[in-house]
Chains A and B, each alone.
Chain A
Amino acid sequence: MHAYAASYSRYIIAISLAVYAAAALFRVFVRRRPARAVPEAVERLMIPWITLNGYLTIGLLQGELPVMFLFWSLQTVLLQLYISLYRHSFPDSDGQILLHAVLLLSVGLMMIARIDIRSAVKQAGIAAAGLFIVFLLVQVRTRLYAMRSVPFVWGALGILLLGTVLILGSDILGARLSYEIAGMSFQPSEFVKILYPVFLAGALGSADLKGWKILACAAAAAVHVGLLILSTDLGGALIYYMVFLLVLYLATGKGRYVLVGLGAGAAGAAICFFLFEHIRIRVQIFLDPFAYIDGSGYQIVQSLFAISFGGLWGAGLAQGAPQKIPFVMMDFIFAAITEEMGLIAAGCVLAVCLLLFLELVLLSGESVEYYQDRFLELFLFGTGITFIFQTFLTVGGETRFIPLTGVTLPLVSYGGSSVLATILLLGIADAGAMLIGERRRHFLARYAEESARPVYEEMPGREERLRRDRRYQRQPAQQPRQPQQRPARRQPDVVFEDPGAYDLDRAGSDFRKYMDL
């Protein structure tokens, strides 16, 4: 048992993570209901399997098997129950967002538990609270959707919240990021990450997008970024800047805006470089971390040691030394994962992050078919950018691919504000997915009505709905229905001239159409 934990569990974990990533990739191409149940089941099984291996290894090698096993049992039961309940209550939810989020959360918890079990329990509590709030929030999704009508209110609120940090914020290691509310450390920039895409999508997604609106948006975004730079949250500033740029690009489709934005960003970065010493230090460390190994470069060098020590398969959980990296649970969790679980497993975690981003991008595309205003399209896109760009900043920083900015790996890193805000943001995105799903059903219902089939006269049960979905999906694309294909059914009275335009579920399910691949 001990030998298994020490030597072989790392292979099982890495391969299981690869299986999860492969299933998730397969699920991207299989978006129809009956077929997609298979990869989803594989994903759902892999999460407790990976963590079981992990916690057993940690428990055996650290000599606290009962504690670890208890922690694993509790979180597995709760998470699996939550997934079941959620999927049952919200059949229109996306499915993948929740599963990916749970996987990232579980891997993060495992790594945090290996370093410090107390922190892991705290993190689990915050995550549970976040998931509970999400469960309540998605119930009022129609009202959440109404948030789009007053975008500048959210922009102003965001600026206000960021402004309070400058006034109330406490200095922690030279950065003013958070303040205390009722004994809890609270980092507003994380929560503004929820308001910010709502604001941008609401303002830029209106049907009549005028010049002044774009300018007002740019000004508000600049104030956000400026406040973050002043509170020395370099990573946050970069994320907000990039989200604005890309959402603006999607909203207007004009490359010259992006070019102007990039130019302004470069100029701003140059000014900041000469204005702020801490930014210059970051760049110097990036260029030659080993020259500053005694001081400011210590953290990044330790991260490189950790990643290099892990190699392809990792040193094995509880067999590396990730705690040598200062602030490993917050800012360097990816290095810790790479050290103990290996580059392959870390690559799989990154792949899941990318797939979660892809899911949000695909949803953003699907919303176009069902919503005439572009709020959801831009919001889901903005959420995706927030998530993936933050991932890129932290992973790139830890591996010395780009200068270090000190942001967390969403859902994986330890940090109350960060994990709560990310769960809420993804929850709201999933609420958007539900709205899209409901619209799709609505369209299907119309289609069914017009096909003169009394399908929705009584509210069908879930099983019945699934069966009917399947029936429509089995239709070959762009072909008029052949009576001999369904001899048992009644011939529809009305035949549409252009069934393709109405076969919306099929349209939404066609990956290539959305990805142009």
Chain B
Amino acid sequence: MNRMNPSPDNNQPQQTAIEHERRARRDRRIRTGTFIAFLVLLGGCLAYTGWYALRNRVALFNNDYNNRDELLMQRNLRGSIYAADGTELARSEVSVDEGGNVWQTRVYPFGRLYAHVVGYSDMGGSGVEALCKYDLLHSDISFADKIACDRQEDPAARLYPGNNVYTTLDPRLQQAASDALGDLSGAVIITEPSTGRILAMVSKPDFDPGRIEDLWEGLLADTETGTLVNRASQGLYPPGSTFKIIDCIDLLEENPDAVRTYTFDCDGQFEEGSDKIHCFDYEVHGKQDLTDSFAHSCNSSFANIGLNWIDRKTMRRTLRRLMFDEPLPFDMPSGQSHVDLSDDQPVDQVMQIYIGQGRTEVTPLHINMITCAVANGGELMRPHVVDRIEAADGSVLESYEPRSEGALMEEDTAEAVTELMKAVYSSSHQGTARMLEGRGYTAAGKTGSAEYREGTEDFHSWFTGFAPADDPKICITVVVEGQGIASSYAVPITAQILDTYFAQ
């Protein structure tokens, strides 16, 4: 007690008191520092969590391992999905059983027409149903509306209406594409090059998404056809002659004069050492420049370009810029295109690559994106299906503006490639798609017939192009599986779709 009571008479306790005070001040600093440290740690932890959880709430909610959608189904009525013109593509209907339990059933008025792009909501979901699960299941109606809902007698009416999704899809084009493809296996994807809006996306064979639960076992058991796969974005095919677009992009970036200076005399095949490559059907194209080579889809000429005009290293760089071997900028599941042009590839493999054969694989979506970039002066707009999200009362919650993914090529290159692609349509160049000429509109494109089983007459038939050629409004990519050459399948299908589009 005495130490607390410094007396002026005694020097010793005075000293102790000063020391005591000094130590007390130091301890105070340490305690303050420790408290502030933990305040910052816990505050930082909370702030980080809030930031992370709120920022990633859609992705975390949509994750397959998170099935909290079942919880929301008890409270909210899953929203509807609409086409760009307001046609309803999917809606939910409510039924109440005797126990007072509320059940929601998903209805797809167009049946199998939108099976892949709109998708199905049960069994984990697919397409737009999976992409927008979070928005469809949440309800952003006003507080007053929610109270009004709560007051309802009918348990079915007590569900809060979920948010609605408006897609960019054009029902007329979707129908035309589906009709044109008919019963054939394959895919059609139609986009708007200047915005990246996807106007139609068809994949066949298809299924009825409203009956997915009944069909599920059968569809899973059938691993051969892969009906559930959205071929337009996930299907991997050898690109065939459509790959020549990429050859030309690289050639013209390396050597812009090639359009004028390049000549090649085709005698039906091209030899490099002991390796040989031949034109389709051993056709002899004779003396031709680049435009003719492209229009005729001359394999020998492009093997020549690949080996003698293009540097492998720059080609690799071009391929990387064109998004090969990396995920595409697309929000729904998509396949990853693949090409192997490494230095240790033997010459025969390299020639195969340049004419789009060999082990190269691409998705129709990817080819469509490259075509879009050509049509749009080299700039790629991010392809998207969802236009906007609206609450049930019509207020817009989120709107997807066109987003640029950067330039895939120089503007001059895009223009030159467009000229090449126009020639494919021209009968004066004997283009492979000349049957499309004289239908009242101009178009540009490239055909492709990809051999996928060596030595057989089965081909994947490709077409990718855009119209009108000088002011591209739509960009179409068609692939038909295992039927025959492009001019018999992909080209007429494209013609049918374009006729419908321009008939309006």
Contact = CB atoms under 8 A, between A and B. Distances in A.
A301 B65 contact: yes
Interface stretch (A47-55, A224-232, A315-323, A474-482): A315-323
Interface string A452-471: 00000000000000000000
A305 to B, nearest CB: 4
A459 B44 CA distance: 51
29 contacts: A246-B34, A298-B65, A302-B66, A307-B49, A308-B57, A309-B60, A309-B61, A343-B49, A343-B50, A350-B46, A354-B39, A361-B34, A364-B31, A365-B31, A388-B42, A392-B42, A395-B42, A395-B46, A399-B48, A401-B44, A401-B49, A501-B4, A501-B6, A514-B28, A514-B31, A514-B32, A515-B32, A515-B35, A516-B32
Interface string A342-380: 010011001001100110010011001100100001000
Instruction: Say what secondary structure dominates the interface of chain B.
Output: helix
Given A293-B65, A309-B60, A400-B52, 13 more contacts: A3-B150, A246-B34, A250-B27, A301-B63, A307-B49, A312-B50, A321-B67, A338-B49, A388-B38, A388-B42, A392-B41, A399-B45, A514-B31
Contact of B30 (A249, A343, A354): A249
B54 interface: yes
Contacts of A319: 71, 75
Interface of B: 3-6, 23-24, 26-32, 34-35, 38-39, 41-42, 44-46, 48-50, 52-54, 56-57, 60-61, 63, 65-68, 71, 75, 146-147, 150-151
Contact of A391 (B3, B4, B23, B42): B42
B341 to A, nearest CB: 30
A516 B66 contact: no
Contact of B46 (A309, A347, A385): A347
B28 to A, nearest CB: 6
A315 B71 contact: yes
Contacts of A369: 24
Looking at chain A, what size class is its interface with the partner chain?
Answer: 35 or more
Nearest to B23: A253
Given A308-B53, A401-B44, A381 B68 contact: no
Best-buried of A302, A311, A350, A396 by chain B (most CB within 10 Å): A396
Contacts of A304: 52-53, 60
A7 interface: yes
A358 B53 contact: no
B68 A309 contact: yes
Contacts of B146: 7
A250 B31 contact: yes
B148 to A, nearest CB: 11
A146 interface: no
Given A305-B60, A308-B60, A516-B29, A361 B35 contact: yes
A347 B48 CA distance: 12
Nearest to A293: B65
Instruction: Say what secondary structure dominates the interface of chain A.
Output: helix
B49 A305 contact: no
Nearest to A381: B31
A215 interface: no
Query: Which 5 pairs, one residue from A and one from B, show the smallest C-beta to C-beta distance?
Result: A3-B150, A399-B49, A308-B53, A305-B66, A308-B60
Contact of A396 (B45, B50, B150): B45
A343 B53 contact: yes
A185 B97 CA distance: 46
Given A354-B38, A372-B3, A253 B68 contact: no
Interface of A: 3, 6-7, 246, 249-250, 253, 293, 298, 301-302, 304-305, 307-312, 315, 319-321, 324, 338, 343, 346-347, 350, 353-354, 357-358, 361, 364-365, 368-369, 372, 377, 381, 385, 388-389, 391-392, 395-396, 399-401, 501, 513-517
Nearest to A250: B30
Contacts of A396: 41, 45
Best-buried of B34, B49, B54 by chain A (most CB within 10 Å): B49
Contacts of B3: 372
Contacts, number: 131
B32 A517 contact: yes
Best-buried of A310, A343, A513 by chain B (most CB within 10 Å): A343
A253 B35 contact: no
Best-buried of B31, B39, B57, B67 by chain A (most CB within 10 Å): B31
A249 B34 CA distance: 10
B284 to A, nearest CB: 55
A516 B28 CA distance: 7
A514 B39 CA distance: 16
Contacts of B23: 253
Nearest to B26: A253
A347 B38 CA distance: 14
Given A249-B30, A253-B27, A392 B38 contact: yes
A321 B68 contact: yes
A253 to B, nearest CB: 5
Contacts of A392: 38, 41-42, 45
B34 to A, nearest CB: 6
B35 A358 contact: yes
Contact of B34 (A307, A385, A391): A385
A357 B71 CA distance: 37
B27 to A, nearest CB: 6
B11 to A, nearest CB: 16
Contact of B61 (A308, A320, A385, A513): A308
Contacts of B52: 304, 308, 399-400
A396 B41 CA distance: 9
A302 B65 contact: yes
Contacts of B57: 308-309, 311
A350 B47 CA distance: 12
A368 B39 contact: no
A372 B68 CA distance: 58
A246 B34 CA distance: 8
Contacts of A305: 60-61, 63, 65-66, 68
B46 to A, nearest CB: 5
A312 B71 contact: no
A298 B61 CA distance: 15
Nearest to B29: A516
A392 B46 CA distance: 10
Contacts of B147: 3
Given A304-B60, A312-B54, A361 B31 contact: yes
Contacts of A399: 45-46, 48-49, 52
Nearest to A335: B49
B369 to A, nearest CB: 27
A410 B56 CA distance: 29
Contacts of A395: 42, 45-46
A353 B42 contact: yes
Nearest to B46: A347
Contacts of A7: 146, 150
Contacts of B68: 305, 309, 320-321
A478 to B, nearest CB: 15
B55 to A, nearest CB: 9
B53 A311 contact: yes
Nearest to A443: B4
Contacts of A308: 52-54, 56-57, 60-61
Contacts of A253: 23, 26-27, 30
Nearest to A517: B32
